[in-house]
């Protein structure tokens, strides 16, 4: 039971550091920011890549020297030494490749984890309105699959660019020193390759973005279909769900085919460009050799450097493909990170101290969109410790009214105060720590009963969990199970009955021990016997707390300190159960509709009057 002298328990979660600012920075600068925490690993990767490039550039020089000096002069000792050095160099190169492959990918995974952490933290800050308008499958796609390619881009991107630059420059200088006219021909050819690459990269990037959108669509449909599989089977609509999935699959296939078409043109063009360079070198080199202006050693060395020259070009091809795919996912990440949280703490917001529980709505207006107002100029005061019931027709704003108190949605006008303090001047964490919510649609995590109860206070001891379960009248049931508190409840608690799930959610609130309680039709989905049993737990839960009870079954709220009747016109009536019945207005009609169906009040036109209104 709530103790006004006892502040709410704090959990043991440590705050997460603020993410990289996203509003006005370029995507490349944001991407580069994620290298900073892992700079030593990044430098190790780049250093090893640089040494690999030097070894690749050194081998043609050694080959040329051996062909021109050592082999013709039969310098066995120097030749064997040079071969041994070459073998040692390539052995070192293999070790360096291991470091680049392993630690480079570790670097990518660390960056991916940092990006995913920032995205998840950001998602926790977004309001209910954002989740109302965004499908879960799309978010899952962005958090998981879209970021997978970032690992490869984070690792291979800088590495491929660096190695390509060093190798291209080194190979071109070496080829110029060997035979500059032939090097000049290659230099003229390279710009055409670059222009082709840049143009095709745009097509690849667009195609990759389309693939990710279609993948997100499939994930969203799949998540929806799996979550609603029971409804699907109940309506025998399996064929319809299959057709929906096949349509999404078709769009994905077309987008993927378009991407591979762009990739095919890109790779085909690059393969032609790189292969024709070999033909040019052999043709012109053979011409110079036959004229006697170039010897075989120079031609072989030049050919080896052409291979070294082509390797970075192929690396660049791979890089541009990775860049298109990885940056498409990173752009979608940035797009989501730039969604500003609608509800944030004001600069002067402060934590709550001891909470009495006085609530006041003053001239409050709210709408989910600009065209339809849900609440307009509403005034309501609730004294600390009172049990106030909110009743009325569906769509009248009952749940909305209660969801505004913990700031799940932000009011458009007016103010809501808690103990005389505007809730916008209270930190969100402090405000929500002091409010407990029990809803009709109970959500349980796919975990054990113990962990689902512990969610009310993450640092709770075993004794506290058991005490909360006893207060919710669920302890005896739990210990009757073979696994007791370690019983797995299934996805969303599917292995438990509705009443059992509801009692676990009530135990969770007992553990949280908040001074303010919101019951949103907490028993309306239960049968009468289960409702009566749970009602006793709820009465115990509400004792000593400011309680707002949304109810369709009026039998559960007859003892409320005050009943408020609300519809789309606002608050129509308020008073005790007896006062409102005596008033013979909206509440009386609603009450007679529920309890007078067998006696005849409906014959007097009560239900028709309700419908007309």
CA of residue 120 relative to chain centroid, distance: 5
pLDDT at residue 218 above 90? no
DSSP 17: P
pTM above 0.95, yes or no: no
| Ramachandran sector of residue 124 (left: φ over 0; alpha: ψ -120 to 50; beta: rest) | alpha
- Check pLDDT > 90 for residue 300: no
Angle (CA) 501 502 507, round 5°? 95
Q: What pLDDT sits at residue 567?
A: 87
Backbone angles phi, psi at 417, to 5 degrees: -115, 145
User: Does pLDDT of 519 surpass 80?
Assistant: yes
Alpha-carbon gap, residue 328 to 335, rounded angstroms: 11
| pLDDT confidence tier of residue 3, bands split at 50, 70 and 90 | very low
The Cα 452–Cα 468 span in angstroms is: 12
Backbone φ and ψ for 520, nearest 5 degrees, come out as -100, 90
Among the listed ranges 89-93, 201-205, 317-321, 359-363, which one has the minimum average pLDDT value? 201-205
Q: Inform me whether the pLDDT recorded for 7 exceeds 70.
A: no
Structure tokens at 181: 């006219």
Residue with the bigger pLDDT between 161 and 195: it is 161
Q: In 290-371, which ranges are E strands?
A: 359-369
Residue 144: strand, helix, or coil = coil
Name the average pLDDT for the chain.
78
**In a 10 Å sphere around its CB, with 0-12 CB exposed, 13-18 middle and 19+ buried, how is residue 228 labelled?**
middle
Q: Classify strands 359-369 and 570-575 as parallel, antiparallel or unpaired.
A: unpaired
DSSP letter for each residue of 254-283? HHHHHHHHHHHHHHHHHHHHHHHHHHHHHH
CA atoms of 413 and 423, how far apart (whole Å): 13
Does the pLDDT at position 194 exceed 80?
A: no
**pLDDT tens-place string over residues 128-176:** 788 877 777 777 777 777 777 777 788 778 887 888 888 878 877 877 8
Q: Average the pLDDT over 36-52 and give the result.
A: 89
Contact 511, 453 (CB under 8 A): yes
Q: CA 395, CA 518: separation in Å to the nearest integer?
A: 18
Annotation: CATH topology of 27-337: ABC transporter transmembrane region fold (1.20.1560)
Q: Residue 412: is its pLDDT beyond 60? A: yes
Whose structure tokens read 């907490």? 522
- DSSP E strands in 407-515: the ranges are 413-418, 421-422, 435-439
Lowest-confidence region among 50-64, 332-346, 449-463 = 50-64
Rounded-to-10 torsion of CA 544, 4, 411, 364? 60
Count Cβ atoms below 10 Å from residue 255 Cβ, excluding itself.
Answer: 20
Using an 8 Å Cβ cutoff, are 382 and 571 in contact?
Answer: no
**Helices (H) and strands (E) in the chain — how many of each?**
19, 10
pLDDT in tens, 553-591: 787 788 889 999 998 888 899 999 999 999 988 888 888
Tell me which H or E stretch contains 158.
helix 145-227
Distance of alpha carbon 84 from alpha carbon 158, whole angstroms: 32
CA distance 433 to 430: 5
495 backbone dihedrals φ, ψ, rounded to 5°? -85, 0
Q: Bigger pLDDT: 282 or 579?
A: 579
Report the phi/psi class of residue 316: left, alpha or beta, with left for phi > 0 and alpha for psi in -120 to 50.
alpha
What mean pLDDT do residues 462-478 have? 89
Q: What is the pLDDT of residues 86-120, one digit of tens each?
A: 888 889 988 998 888 888 888 888 888 888 888 88
Confidence band of 274 (pLDDT split at 50, 70, 90): low
Select, from the ranges 180-184, 201-205, 230-234, 490-494, the one with the highest average predicted confidence (pLDDT).
Answer: 180-184
Q: Please state, as a whole number, how many other Cβ atoms lie within 10 Å of the Cβ of residue 180.
A: 11
H or E stretch at 381: strand 372-382
Residue with the larger pLDDT of the pair 225 and 409? 409
């Amino acid at each position: 039971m709530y103790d006004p002298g006892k502040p709410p328990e704090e959990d043991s979660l440590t705050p997460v550091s603020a993410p990289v600012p996203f509003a006005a920075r370029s995507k490349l600068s944001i991407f580069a920011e994620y290298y900073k925490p892992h700079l030593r690993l990044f430098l190790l990767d780049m250093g090893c890549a640089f040494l690999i490039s030097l070894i690749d550039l050194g081998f043609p020089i050694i080959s040329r020297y051996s062909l021109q000096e050592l082999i013709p002069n039969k310098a066995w000792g120097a030749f064997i030494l040079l071969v041994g050095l070459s073998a040692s160099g390539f052995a070192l190169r293999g070790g360096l490749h291991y470091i680049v492959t392993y630690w480079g990918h570790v670097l990518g995974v660390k960056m991916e984890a940092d990006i995913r952490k920032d995205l998840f933290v950001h998602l926790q800050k977004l309001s209910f309105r954002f989740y109302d308008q965004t499908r879960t499958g799309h978010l899952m796609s962005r958090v998981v699959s879209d970021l997978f390619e970032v690992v490869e881009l984070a690792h291979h991107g800088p590495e491929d660019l660096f190695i390509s630059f060093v190798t291209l420059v080194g190979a071109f200088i070496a080829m110029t020193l060997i035979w500059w006219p032939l090097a000049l021909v290659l230099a003229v050819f390279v710009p055409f390759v670059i222009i082709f690459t840049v143009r095709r990269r745009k097509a690849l990037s667009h195609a990759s973005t389309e693939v990710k959108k279609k993948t997100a669509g499939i994930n969203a449909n799949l998540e929806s279909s799996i979550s609603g599989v029971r409804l699907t089977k109940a309506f025998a609509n399996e064929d319809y769900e299959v057709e929906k999935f096949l349509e999404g699959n078709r769009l994905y296939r077309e987008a993927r085919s378009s991407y591979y078409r762009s990739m095919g043109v890109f790779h085909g063009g690059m393969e032609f460009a790189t292969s024709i360079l070999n033909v040019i070198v052999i043709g012109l080199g053979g011409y110079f050799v036959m004229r006697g202006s170039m010897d075989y050693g120079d031609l072989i060395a030049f050919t080896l450097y052409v291979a070294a020259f082509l390797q970075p070009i192929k690396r660049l091809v791979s890089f541009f493909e990775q860049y298109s795919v990885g940056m498409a996912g990173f752009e979608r990440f940035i797009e989501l990170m730039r969604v500003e949280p609608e509800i944030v703490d004001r600069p002067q917001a402060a934590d709550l101290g001891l909470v009495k529980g006085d609530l006041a709505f003053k001239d409050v207006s709210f709408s989910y969109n600009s065209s339809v107002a849900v609440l307009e100029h509403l005034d309501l005061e609730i004294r600390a410790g009172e049990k106030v019931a909110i009743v009325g027709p569906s769509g009248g704003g009952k749940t909305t009214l209660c969801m505004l108190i913990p700031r799940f949605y932000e009011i458009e006008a007016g103010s809501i105060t808690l103990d005389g303090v505007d809730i916008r001047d209270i930190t969100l964490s402090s405000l929500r720590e002091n409010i407990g919510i029990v809803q009709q649609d109970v959500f349980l995590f796919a975990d054990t009963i113990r962990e689902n109860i512990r969610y009310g206070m993450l640092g709770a001891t075993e004794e506290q969990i058991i005490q909360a379960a006893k207060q919710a009248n669920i302890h005896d049931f739990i210990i009757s199970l073979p696994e007791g508190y370690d019983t797995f409840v299934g996805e969303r608690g599917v292995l438990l009955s509705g009443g059992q799930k509801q009692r676990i959610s009530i135990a969770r609130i007992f553990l949280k021990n908040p001074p303010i309680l919101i019951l949103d039709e907490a028993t309306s989905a239960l049968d009468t016997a289960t409702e009566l049993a749970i009602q006793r737990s709820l009465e115990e839960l509400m004792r000593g707390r400011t309680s707002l009870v949304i109810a369709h079954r009026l039998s559960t709220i007859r003892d409320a300190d005050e009943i408020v009747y609300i519809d789309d016109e606002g608050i129509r009536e308020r008073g005790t159960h007896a006062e409102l019945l005596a008033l013979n207005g909206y509440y009386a009609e609603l009450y007679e509709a529920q309890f007078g169906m067998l006696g005849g009040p409906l014959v007097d036109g009560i239900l028709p009057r309700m419908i007309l209104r």
